[in-house]
Structure 1
Amino acid sequence: MITTIRPGTVRDAAAVAELHAASWRTAYTGIVPEDALGDGLAAERREIWELRLAVDYGGPEHTPELLIAERAGETVGFAYLVPQPDGRVLLDNLHVRPGLTGAGIGRGLLDAACAHVARRHPGADLYLEVLRANTRAIAFYERAGGRRTAARDGVFPGGYTLPEYEYTWTAAELAAL
């Protein structure tokens, strides 16, 4: 089945929030505290996505980009890119609908994210942060050419701290893709 990738808009907030919550519950069970995945997760994600997609960031060089993967009109994945003050771009989210992982959707989104950064932010590195216990995601990023560039503890809403890695694709690598 064909997957298309398009820019997201505020109209995508509900679908993205639902997919985001479902993905967290699948990928992070046993990794993050159970209460972080509880009943309020979907509402919290919706509030966050409605806010993120409605804010005026003051120009395209500062504006995050939401990429939506669709199949037959259904949102099956998304990626969210956030320009950072240090000149890099953070791949803040990359999620695929549970049950569809391994079907090339994530790789399509990652490739689109790399192309977007190379085009919109020439000279910028792309990086992401991934929980150390999320071994499936780590393997995916390493297969896609990401290089581990840092290890640290991430602080999350609710006050918990978890170890994470940073993976980077340099501007030169992005330009060569």
Structure 2
Amino acid sequence: MPDSFLNGPLTDDRLTLWRERLASPAQGSGLFVAHDDGELLGFVYLFPAPDERILLDNLHVRPVSIGSGIGTQLLRRGLAWAADEHPGRQVYLEVLYANTRAIAFYERHGARRTDERICRFQQGFELPEFEYAWPMN
């Protein structure tokens, strides 16, 4: 992402988004957090997409906790939740092409690339992204 966005409106943009999501959760959505003694270590958020699939929209782990297994635990929890709450619906995500660490993580956990496209951000820039999905059982 452009430095002008990362060093500018990104924080306000994310605060607005999460305040809205927490104040009025999307029907059928799931938010799961990992914490230790009240400290947030990571979270995963999923919700039903208009195309009837389940979008894994966010999976984040604090940088100091990367490699600790928290991301794997959150991903497994999110996928299990989706299977229980939305049986028969495929889980997918969108990841920026340059996010090679996340791509490797998702591929290690069974996700398969299903599409590639250009993501157009409301802030006026475009970046290539991939779509990944987990095979339906």
* TM-score normalized by the length of structure 1: 0.73
Change (3 A) 1:152 1:140: same
| Alpha-carbon distance in structure 2 between the residues aligned to 1:56 and 1:134 | 27
Alignment pair present for 1:128 and 2:93:
yes
Off by >2 Å, runs of 4+ in structure 1: 39-44
> 2:63 aligns to what SS in structure 1?
coil
* Aligned equivalent of 1:107: 72
Q: Distance in 1 between matches of 2:90 and 2:83?
A: 9
Gaps of 5+ in 2: none
In structure 2, what is the equivalent of residue 6 of structure 1?
none
Equivalent residues of 1:77, 1:106 under 8 A apart: yes
User: C-alpha offsets along residues 59-109 of structure 1, whole Å, 9 cap, x if unaligned?
Assistant: xxx332111111122111011101012210000010001121111111111
The structure carrying a bigger strand percent of its residues is 2
Specify the alignment match of 2:63 in structure 1.
Answer: 98
Q: 1:83 aligns with which of 40, 44, 48?
A: 48
Matched, 1:40 2:9: yes
SS at structure 1 position matched to 2:65: coil
- What number of residue pairs does the alignment pair up? 137
User: Conserved in 1, the CA contact under 8 Å of 2:97 and 2:129?
Assistant: yes
Percent of pairs with identical residues: 50
Give yes or no for the alignment of 1:74 onto 2:39: yes
TM-score under structure 2 length normalisation: 0.94
Structure in which a larger fraction of residues adopt helix: 1
Mapped to 2, the partners of 1:91 and 1:166 lie a distance apart of: 11
Instruction: Give the SS at the match of 2:127.
Output: strand
Find the aligned partners of 1:110 and 1:56 in 2 and give their Cα distance. 20
Amino acid at match of 1:131: L
Q: What SS is found at the alignment partner of 2:102?
A: helix
Query: 1:26-82: per-residue Cα shift (whole Å, max 9, x none)?
Result: xxxxxx10011114332321121011111254xxxx332111111122111011101
Matched, 1:119 2:84: yes
Indicate which of 19, 34, 51 corresponds to 1:50. Answer: 19
